[in-house]
Chains A and B, each alone.
Chain A
Amino acid sequence: MRENPMMPKPHKVIKIDLETDLESTFRIEVDTPPALGQFYMVSIPRIGEMPISISGIGPGWVDMTIRNVGKVSRAVHSLNEKSILFLRGPYGNGFPMDEFKGRHLVIAAGGSGIAPVRPLLEHYYRNPDEVDKLDLLFGFKTPDDILFRQDIDRWKSRFDTILTVDDACGIWEGECVGLITEYVKNIKLSEYDKMEIVIVGPPVMIKFTAAEFIRQGVSEERIVVSMERRMSCGLGKCGHCKISEYYICLDGPVFRYNEAVKLVD
């Protein structure tokens, strides 16, 4: 029989953690660990498929933090521990971890963009010597939208961290209020050839945060972004994720910004 790349495989849900009103993290059994920054096509038979990034990797499992926004995500949110979830993948290229070695790394994540960088942060939390320095910059809409609060507190103990919310809503006990872009200048950058910046979030957030880093003297080649586009197949066939001559599902989702800015939707 010919191998069918569209065939998902059943995986056990081990654990579900409620993160916010809309988001939960699903820990799912897998045999082989994916690369950091890759994604899976998550499938519920008779409902549909959707691309979801990996928000954690451990021995025999991966985490996926899923926002309840539509048909498939709603169905996933109705699962319980011990349910079966169908996956195919992992797909995509992942972050260039080797190129980050020995560098001063800044990770800037907006909203649910923190999910795909969480495995990176855990990796550097366990191996802090792999980079010269790590700065974290997180932005969320309101205090209630903050994901992985306990993780952030833990990361804070080891790395310089800025956590900001667009709107304090009268309940925010943190120091920073305002868009993530306003805090870029608070990060003390190293010389040009020592920097690596990772930016993940909604398209607008990526655009303006990158512009701010560039204003601070970072060049486009030193910035890495993870892009999201509509996806249906994850295999380079359906055409939904194509921009310019690239297919985000195959050639991305991670791109160097000097490449990414040239791509036109």
Chain B
Amino acid sequence: MGWKFTEAAFKDLIVKLKADYTILGPKRFVGQGRFSDTDLIRYDEIESLDEIVWNEKSTFSPKEVVFPITQTLFYFIEEKFLEPKLDENKILIFLRPCDINGIRRLDTIHLRNGPQSDSYYAQLRERVRFVMMECMEGFDTCFCVSMKSNITSDYDMAVRFGDDEVLAEVKNDDFTRYFSLDLPRVEFTPGFVQENTIKVTVPDGGEISAGIYNHDMWNEYKSRCIACGRCNTTCITCSCHTTTDIFYDDNMRAGERRRTWACCHVDGFTDMAGGISFRKDNGSRMRFKVLHKIYDYNKRFGEHMCVGCGRCDDNCPEYISYSSCINRLSQVIQETDACVKIP
């Protein structure tokens, strides 16, 4: 069973929810897009229903809600480590199934990779509730169906936006107390996109031979990729970061330890003291990223890291297509018969 809201009733719900939640959703920033006369759509605090851009794909993912671009881990006063004061407000995010599946990948790394979970991530993450925006069509660069991340049941509420109504399914009863008593009930469960224009063939479940790592196919990216890291920053599942300390200009005895997103495509990611570094050329960085997303992570955790949101393809300034790269990789593997299926 579901609920049916008129546009006015849903606007009213948002107002009521705002009393207890910080509401975040994909929002339009006019004229800030990558090309002239284009808009940027990114996650930000939502004041009213009209601000939620539900019928276009957001340029950036909602990653920064649970994993901020820069986060202070400690404030230092002399030799004292002080943890920042925790926010306690609850957070509600409007997001698509692929991004919910993507956040589950972030959970895996931050909470379950290794014996200790990341307390900063955990304390933010447990305050977050999901409103899944039904996504029946996808967009032209999406390939979530191939990545099996078009579907999720991990949401507190799911909504279908119509022209002048909103249908909702509620899984977390905490939300129904915000509904007015006369809200009409309807049959509603959300649907999911069943086919994308772009399809990728992922080399599933085999061992990749050494020949694939050294294959010519990566050479193209050597010169094409400019190591800007946009594919990493826009990716919902890229979780790498670097921790650095700073001291304040006006008081060297005080400072902070911060962590900031890091990108495996960008120079310096593997640098060690003594001038040693790995993956010096951009082709091997592309190889590293691609294999992490659709091979290494799967070997470790039993599902692919990439959720097929297509944002890396949307945002690469050099028009490198990661989805085409996966298909090419599968083809190369087939041709060279280098992928030995493990039963």
A residues sitting closer than 8 Å to B (CB atoms) are 2-8, 10, 44-49, 67, 69-70, 73, 84, 86, 202-203, 228-230, 232-233, 235-240, 242, 244-247, 249-250, 264-265
Contact = CB atoms under 8 A, between A and B. Distances in A.
Q: What are the 4 tightest A-B residue pairs by CB atom distance, in nearest-first order?
A: A236-B114, A239-B240, A265-B278, A46-B255
A69 B274 contact: yes
A245 B276 CA distance: 21
Contacts of A246: 300
B299 A239 contact: no
- Among B74, B116, B120, B253, the most chain A Cβ lie within 10 Å of the Cβ of B116
Interface string B100-120: 000000000110011011111
Contact of A6 (B120, B273, B284): B120
Interface in B231-268: 239-247, 252-255, 257, 259, 262, 264
Interface stretch (B55-63, B75-83, B196-204): B75-83
B29 interface: no
Given A2-B123, A238-B240, 14 more contacts: A3-B119, A6-B257, A7-B74, A7-B83, A44-B245, A45-B81, A48-B257, A67-B273, A229-B272, A230-B271, A235-B116, A237-B110, A247-B113, A265-B278
Nearest to B264: A239
7 contacts: A7-B83, A202-B276, A233-B243, A235-B116, A236-B114, A237-B241, A265-B279
A35 B64 CA distance: 37
- Among A2, A73, A230, A250, the most chain B Cβ lie within 10 Å of the Cβ of A230
A229 B272 CA distance: 7
A7 B119 CA distance: 10
B297 interface: yes
B285 to A, nearest CB: 10
Contact of A240 (B242, B245, B257): B242
Interface in B155-210: 210
B10 interface: no
Contacts of B279: 265
Given A230-B272, A239-B262, A247-B113, A7 B240 contact: no
Contact of A244 (B252, B253, B255, B296): B296
How large, as a class, is the contact surface on chain B? 35 or more
A4 B83 contact: yes
Nearest to B83: A4
Interface of B: 73-74, 76, 78-81, 83, 109-110, 113-114, 116-123, 210, 213, 239-247, 252-255, 257, 259, 262, 264, 269-274, 276-279, 284, 288, 292, 296-297, 299-300
Contacts of A228: 272
A5 B296 CA distance: 25
B288 A265 contact: yes
Describe A's contact surface by its main secondary structure. loop
A47 B245 contact: yes
A242 B241 CA distance: 12
A204 to B, nearest CB: 9
Given A45-B81, A45-B255, A46-B255, A239 B273 contact: no
A143 to B, nearest CB: 20
B119 A4 contact: yes
B18 to A, nearest CB: 28
B116 A245 contact: no
A2 B78 CA distance: 24
A10 B78 CA distance: 13
Contacts of B74: 6-7, 45
Given A6-B73, A46-B247, A230-B269, A245 B262 contact: no
A6 B272 CA distance: 21
B239 A237 contact: yes
Given A237-B241, A245-B300, A5 B81 contact: no
Contacts of A46: 76, 245-247, 252-255
A232 B241 contact: yes
Given A48-B245, A230-B271, A242-B292, A237 B114 contact: yes
A45 B269 contact: no
A84 B81 CA distance: 13
Nearest to B247: A46
- Among A69, A202, A232, A264, the most chain B Cβ lie within 10 Å of the Cβ of A264
Given A6-B119, A238-B262, A229 B270 contact: yes
B211 to A, nearest CB: 12
A6 B254 CA distance: 19
B327 to A, nearest CB: 21
A109 to B, nearest CB: 16
A202 B278 CA distance: 13
Nearest to B241: A238
A237 B122 CA distance: 13
Contacts of A8: 81
A233 to B, nearest CB: 7
Contact of B118 (A5, A49, A244): A5
B127 to A, nearest CB: 13
B118 A235 contact: yes
B239 A239 contact: yes
Nearest to A234: B114
